[in-house]
Amino acid sequence: MLQVSNIAENRDAYIKALKKRNFDAEELFDQVLELDETRRATQTKLDDTLASSNQLSKEIGLLFKTGEHQKANLLKEKTGKLKEESKELSEKLSKAIEELQALLYTIPNIPHESVPAGKSEEDNEEVYREGDIPKLAEGALPHWELAKKYDIIDFELGNKVTGAGFPVYKGKGARLQRALIAWFLDKATEAGYTEFQLPLMVNEASGYGTGQLPDKEGQMYHVTADDLYLIPTAEVPITNMFRDNLMTEDDFPVKCTGYTPCFRREAGSYGAHVRGLNRLHQFDKVEIVRLEKPENSYAALDDMVAHIKCLLQELKLPYRILRLCGGDLGFTSALTYDFEVFSTAQDRWLEISSVSNFETFQANRLKLRYKDKENKKELVHTLNGSALALPRVLAGILENYQTENGIEIPEVLKPYCGFDRID
């Protein structure tokens, strides 16, 4: 969430920057600033009214002590009117704060200066590519056919038990899934991230804190009886562990990782591009999250990108990195890099990670601050990335490592799997 003070100071620059998102902020900004002026004027009047009421109360006490009851009773009438006025002002203030907050929730983050303008994913900018695309034998299969052939993932059984988008992993498929999770976590802890085991449901405050609410409310599974939400990513519980915290400079950097199942209601269209593991309602993911001082956050983002590159290099999967354009940038993000793995059998790129810097956007919602060297309170920068989301990584491994005699296991995963091939 943007800070009102920053909107006031940078109004024209922010309006221009948000045009990269195809978002017209001019009218909203005017409403925000008008509401904030109302809020501040009302707060000042309320403070003055309460101060007058308190002063009169002291005078009334003294008058009663000196026996001047008539004067005291006259002043009591004035305090009664002041109390009624302060009540009305309190209600007006609460309404202004509520309306201001609701408006601020509708405004996306300011894109970083390096974000290209654009309307959709087609306008994203490729910034890096690595790895050779393997040449598969004639008749190579997509992963959903391989899963059926080797009986390692059962999509129909998942549909029977729950519904579409909830696959059942079996035998070596389940072992490979578990191997990937363990390896991703080990690589993260080797890189200095502290591992957490996290709740899979969060409260409404947590959803608002990281920006899933109200923007993505329709995409989250809502447990209505308890007003809890199934997490769409481990970013939500990890980042919210620090909600309302006041940190010190000695606390940085904060580096966290966690494995969780993730749940997303997002409706999928039909066709090969969403078949099999390409789009699921439940999937596994290892997340990395960082809290940084503002001046260090973009170096931290580069470090997170390098970490994810290392994972894909060791898996020997061909991949590319895209800098998302304004039109494809997430609501809360200032800058996002997407990683995509090439699926040779499907002849297409599959997104397998997003790594983002939210700058102060989440921290302002979270009331997450730190004291600098001058003892001044400043907002923290928050970052997160998938390292990695499993379904499409698994799809890429199955398709790119397939041979006429079975599916080879990447060398780094063999000690975790306990087998060298799926056949």
Binding site annotation covers 264?
yes
Long-range contacts of the stretch 126-130 (C-beta < 8 A, 24+): 126/320, 126/321, 126/322, 127/321, 127/322, 127/323, 127/337, 128/309, 128/320, 128/321, 129/318, 129/319, 129/320, 129/321, 130/309, 130/312, 130/313, 130/318, 130/319, 130/320
In whole angstroms, what is the distance from residue 186 CA to residue 176 CA?
15
How is residue 280 written in tokens? 């699921």
In whole angstroms, what is the distance from residue 84 CA to residue 90 CA?
10
* Other Cβ atoms within 10 Å of 90 Cβ, number: 15
Binding site annotation covers 57?
no
Q: Of 14, 57, 7, which Cα lies nearest the Cα of 32?
A: 7
R_g of the chain, CA atoms, integer Å:
27
Binding site annotation covers 129?
no
In whole angstroms, what is the distance from residue 193 CA to residue 188 CA?
5
Binding site annotation covers 233?
yes
13 Cβ contact partners less than 8 Å away, ≥ 6 residues apart: none
Binding site annotation covers 352?
yes
How is residue 390 written in tokens? 């499993």
Binding site annotation covers 343?
no
Binding site annotation covers 386?
no
How many residues appear in the chain? 423
How is residue 372 written in tokens? 């600098």
CA 400 vs CA 157, 279, 316: distances in Å: 25, 19, 10
End-to-end CA distance of the chain: 51
What CA dihedral angle connects 263, 267, 270 and 276, to 10 degrees? Answer: 0
Are 400 and 409 contacting, i.e. CB atoms less than 8 angstroms apart? Answer: no
Question: Is the peptide bond preceding residue 214 cis, with omega within 30 degrees of 0?
Answer: yes
Binding residues for ATP: 264-266, 351-354
Binding residues: 233, 264-266, 287, 351-354, 384
Binding residues for L-serine: 233, 264, 287, 384
